[in-house]
Structure 1
Amino acid sequence: MTALGELIGIDERTVLVLGQELDVGRGQPDVGNALVHRAGETLVVVDTGVTETFRAALREAVDRIGPWSRALFLTTHGHPDHVGNNDLADGLGVPVEHWVPAPDLDQMRDPDAYWVRSFERVEGMAPLPAPALAGPALVSLFRPYRPFGATTRTYEERPLERIRIGSARFTGWTFADGAVRVLRSQGHCAGHVIVHLRDCGVLHLSDEGNGACGAMADADQLKIQTALGAVALLFEEGEAALLTDGHTFAVRRGAEVVVPFLDGLLEQAAALQSAALELTRGDGPVRPSAFTARYAEAFAGLGGGGANPNAMFTAMMAVNQLHELGLRPESADADAPWFRPALQRGD
């Protein structure tokens, strides 16, 4: 068993700080893992988690990998379990840059609205209170919540770069003379990025690997799968050696470990889509609550889990799967039936 804030040393200048799973019943927020690295004299902090306990662990990791004379804070995406301690950048006493994705600014400023919208999509499909209550109740677990600091700016204020790593091609931004590469992925949510640390061979997937199907309202299934395939290629070609992420409490080492893991997620995505298709065959309506229950059984049967598995996220995944199959709700009412739109033929 791991503990919140446990440090895993990757090498003498790189540490993974472990988070924890979500447990709403116990009032426990999930906390995304953070990566702390030194590139030359630059301290690199990828995500900052949330809670005072995690903040103290981050500071311990920061001190462990010194010395450094400047700092670079990188936010992979705007969910509260990854940004709560971003103001830590303000107290280091050295020149600091902090970069966040522009598409996630709205949810970082107003996380209540983001989660209310997410829960409105699954009203009647999961055992949740009214979305207007469930959203703020969830967000209230993430304290302190300090997503911005004095130096916060958006990646998109920098010129977009074409980045080639081996035979893979990305767009994104480089830092520390190319030792740190921020690669746009935008699958788990609208602004998501992944981070490649060139000198130690670490690829930080953050939340792009949180299961075979994205749950958030702004998730993009194709981008998730494209990111997983591109990352697998980096390991096959030896351009990356170690995989870390936001919610798996371990370091995966070597292509022989990482590639089967990534391929497994892609295989699950295809199998889950096939299972969902079988559940929606026919011309009749699909009741989302009934679909979600059967979808959860199929998901469990495929060995699916992902980060923080629970009924809430399963229902969110189910809605995304219905959209991906081309179905649309009859109305905005809770648990309204979904149909495949009729196709009009011209004369």
Structure 2
Amino acid sequence: MAALGDLVAIDDRTVLVLGQELDVGHDQPDVANALAHRAGDTLVLVDTGVTAAFRAALREAADRVGPWSRALVLTTHGHLDHVANNDLADELGVPAEHYVPAADLDQMRDPASYWVSSFDRITGLAPLPAPSALAGQVVSLFQPMRPFGATTRTYEERPLERIRIGSQRFTGWTFADGAVRVLRSQGHCAGHVIVHLRDHGVLHLSDEGNGACGAMADADQLKIQTVLGAVALLFEENEAAILTDGHTFAVRRGAAAVSHLDGLLEQATALQAAALGLTGESGRVRPSAFTARYAEAVAGLGVGGANPNAMFTAMMAVNQLRELGLRPESAEPDAPWSRPALHDPGPHSRP
């Protein structure tokens, strides 16, 4: 059974460092998987997780893929479970660079406010503490938290590049003479990127494949589904051979990776179809009732994604209502959601 900090050798220059699942009830933070890779003389770390134990595992992985004389630390997005050890870039003893997405800077500086805004949306929809209390509880799990180092910059300080991989066209940034490609995806959250290690065929999806429906307030369902389709095509065209991600603790190769990505897209369409059925003919629902039935649908379809729990399921439910085109009728707690009127019933519409 996989444990926090286990090292999975992908090839002689690439190691996946395994994280762990979230368990708020037992004060256990989730820890995202990270990659250690050597491109020429450059150590590449993709995400840094959280906890001192994971930091030690990262150092071991870095030593395993050596030798290297410079370092590049790449943050896929600003969520707590991916960024806490980012200052490791300052301790590697070699010239180092560290990049983070500009759109995620605010949440990295003030994660409590980011989580309060996420939990505000689900007040009364799940048996959870008040948003501020819950955000404080969640953030307190992720310690020590060091998301910035002396060399931290944003990707957006570099000129944006058009990156062609096979028949696919992306925008993003390249490093190590093009051997490391950072591709903008921005589905799981506003600043999200994925990473392609060109010469080794490794594609790190990070959290874009976390589940059939993004949970966070800044998630974009279309972008999630678009990047899953684009990545599947990279595997079909043999532009990528190995798929890793932030939370499933698995290394998928070739056809197995394509099957996994197609499965995520199938889950997304099945879950949206189930959600549509829950809105009824009127298309008007109370979010509390919808969330309860939505949780049953999620469980029945087996599409809870990474770290399934009542908190994330309620967040997914609110996003699903918006994806279906429904909007709250007022700012009152548990106010009904319905579809906006398509026609203005004002005087000009009268005969």
Q: Give the structure-2-normalised TM-score.
A: 0.97
User: Does structure 1 residue 104 correspond to structure 2 residue 108?
Assistant: no
Q: Say whether the 8 Å CA contact 1:181–1:195 is kept in structure 2.
A: yes
1:26-41 counterparts in 2 under 5 A?
26-41=26-41
- 1:86 is matched with 86
Tell me the residue number matched to 1:300: 299
- Counterpart CA distance in 2 for 1:203 and 1:30 is 22
Query: 1:175 and 1:338, CA in 2 relative to 1: closer, same or farther beyond 3 A?
Result: same
Residue 311 in structure 1 maps to residue 310 in structure 2: yes
Between the aligned partners of 1:284 and 1:302, the Cα distance in structure 2 is: 22
2:71 maps to which residue? 71
1:218-242 deviation per Cα after TM superposition (whole angstroms, max 9, x unaligned): 0000000000000000000000000
> 2:46 maps to which residue?
46
Residue 284 of structure 1, CA deviation:
6.2
Q: Secondary structure at the match of 1:181?
A: strand
Matching residue of 2:198? 198
Aligned residues: 346
Q: Contact 1:16–1:34 (CA<8 Å) still a contact in 2?
A: yes
Contact 2:304 2:313 in 1 (8 A): no
Identity %: 81
Shift of 1:171: 0.3
Q: Which residue in 2 is equivalent to 1:246?
A: 246
Contact kept, 8 Å, 1:283 with 1:340, in 2: the verdict is no
Equivalent residues in 2 for 1:220-239 (5 A)?
A: 220-239=220-239
Distance 2:74 2:272 in 1: 33
Name the amino acid aligned to 1:336: A
Stretch deviating more after TM superposition (310-319 or 290-299): 290-299
Determine helix, strand or coil for the equivalent of 1:283.
coil
Is residue 2:175 matched to residue 1:165?
no
CA contact (8 A) 1:42 1:176 kept: yes
Q: Which residue of 1 aligns with 2:154?
A: 154
Q: Deviations over 1:88-107 (max 9, x none)?
A: 00011111010000000000
Deviates more, 1:291-300 or 1:90-99: 291-300
1:12 maps to 2:5: no
2:330 pairs with 1:334:
no
Contact 1:15 1:61 in 2 (8 A): yes
Looking at structure 1, the residues matched to 204 and 91 of structure 2 have their Cα atoms a distance apart, in angstroms, of: 25
**Following the alignment from structure 2 to structure 1, what is the Cα–Cα distance between the partners of residues 8 and 200?**
15
Residues 17 and 35 in structure 1, CA contact (< 8 A), matched pair in contact too = yes
Counterpart of 1:173 in 2: which secondary structure? strand
Any residues of structure 2 matched to 1:251-290 within 5 Å, and which? 251-254=251-254, 256-283=255-282, 285-290=284-289
Q: Which amino acid letter does the alignment assign opposite residue 151 of structure 1?
A: T
